[in-house]
Amino acid sequence: MGYIDVVKEKIFNKKICLYPMGIAAKATMDKIKAYGIEIDFFSDSNPALWGTEYKGKECVPKEQLVKMDQDQLIVIVESLYYREIKRDLEGHGVKNILRIFPEKYLTDKFLEKNGENLDNYVNEIMGIFEDERSKEVFRHLINAWKMQDIPDDYFEIIYEKEQYFDSQIIIRDIDEVFVDVGAYVGDTAEKYLKFCDNKYEKMHLFELDAEIYQKLEKNISNFREGKVKKEKIICYPYGLADENKEVRFLSGDSSSSIGESFDTCGNVRKMDDILRNEKVTFIKMDIEGSEMPALVGASDIIRTQKPKLAICIYHSPEDMFEIPRYIKELVPEYKIYIRHYTDMMLETVCYATIS
């Protein structure tokens, strides 16, 4: 029995609510629907969300949720504040609260094909990690793949806080040129400004989704009205890949995954072409599973300039092995680290540094 089958047993014949109605819950709804699980509604304590919908599913007030027949209801909580929310809901009489890990479906499929070779894959990749913490984190993640079910608190032991700018790994430079691939609305750029204390040379921000790009431009304009000079932050309305082409992708806050079945069109380019004559000292990538093609499209810059790298590897099981291996092959002198930044299966980052 696979993980999704275990989840389906838990929710059988129940009304399914996703709580709260945030980005994580919306992404979870999209993922589990693909696995044959349809939610009934959202709920949230925020009055601004009551009566709103996401793909036809309404958000009801928390007060309405707690008055429902709890024996017929299951509430899936998707949030970084899972423990606090669970405690609050239980205090209001909600009985059946579940945390699920949709990414487990992908690891189950990976193990079906590669289970016999998994130990060899793990031993090989462990050999390139720089420190014991990386090995501990990686081993903990792989063990979750093998579980039929995962305890709510399983990932807490490897949960770090400072994603992309971990001071134990990333050394701050005052003349940094930071490239944010998958800039979203500028949240990581804002964190970077705090990390570098506004002492940097330039920033290049790439965002594929045109709707989100507008929000990025607006937020960056607010930065520019302060102490940030306009020419120091450059935004690009396309994604990065291993060739210059038009792609289809899933538009919206929950994901910008690229795939032929999606309706929205956009353009991707090679970093080696766009930033060929630019200095690059630090690259961050979080682009919903397209990190590997983007790295290939940046291979010349990475080989010649050897920038610090912070690359997300959690979007597919294959990325967990292929991305660290590829980075090490590009620049053998790189030191490779792995860290994990939620108490879910999400937000695993591979770092590469020379120092």
pLDDT at 99: 93
The structure tokens 């390139």 sit at 128
pLDDT at 261: 59
Q: For the segment 165-217, what is each residue's pLDDT rounded down to a tens digit?
A: 999 999 988 899 999 999 999 999 999 999 998 889 999 999 999 999 999 99
Average pLDDT over residues 111-137: 95
Q: Give the model's confidence band at 249: pLDDT under 50 very low, under 70 low, under 90 confident, else very high.
A: low
Least-confidence region, from 23-32, 157-166, 239-248, 256-265: 256-265
Q: Give the model's confidence band at 295: pLDDT under 50 very low, under 70 low, under 90 confident, else very high.
A: very high
End-to-end CA distance of the chain: 46
Q: Which CATH architecture has domain 3-98?
A: 3-Layer(aba) Sandwich (3.40)
Other residues' Cβ atoms within 10 Å of the Cβ of residue 64: 11
pLDDT at 160: 93
pLDDT at 27: 86
Average pLDDT over residues 82-87: 94
Average per-residue pLDDT in the chain? 92
Least-confidence region, from 105-119, 134-148, 237-251, 272-286: 237-251
Q: For the segment 43-60, what is each residue's pLDDT rounded down to a tens digit?
A: 999 999 999 999 999 999
Of 120, 188, 170, 185, give the one whose Cα is nearest residue 281: 170
Q: Give the model's confidence band at 288: pLDDT under 50 very low, under 70 low, under 90 confident, else very high.
A: confident
The answer to whether 342 touches 286, Cβ cutoff 8 Å, is: no
Other residues' Cβ atoms within 10 Å of the Cβ of residue 143: 11
Rg (CA), the chain: 21
Q: Give the model's confidence band at 256: pLDDT under 50 very low, under 70 low, under 90 confident, else very high.
A: low
Evaluate if residue 251 carries a pLDDT over 90: no
- Specify the higher pLDDT residue, 227 or 88: 88
Evaluate if residue 222 carries a pLDDT over 90: no
The structure tokens 């193990």 sit at 111
pTM, rounded to two decimals: 0.91
Least-confidence region, from 228-242, 247-261, 305-319: 247-261
Cis bond before residue 151 (omega within 30° of 0)? no
Average pLDDT over residues 338-342: 97
pLDDT at 198: 86
Domain ranges in the chain are 3-98
Evaluate if residue 106 carries a pLDDT over 60: yes
The answer to whether 11 touches 37, Cβ cutoff 8 Å, is: yes
The answer to whether 299 touches 292, Cβ cutoff 8 Å, is: no
Evaluate if residue 321 carries a pLDDT over 70: yes
pLDDT at 49: 96
pLDDT at 309: 98
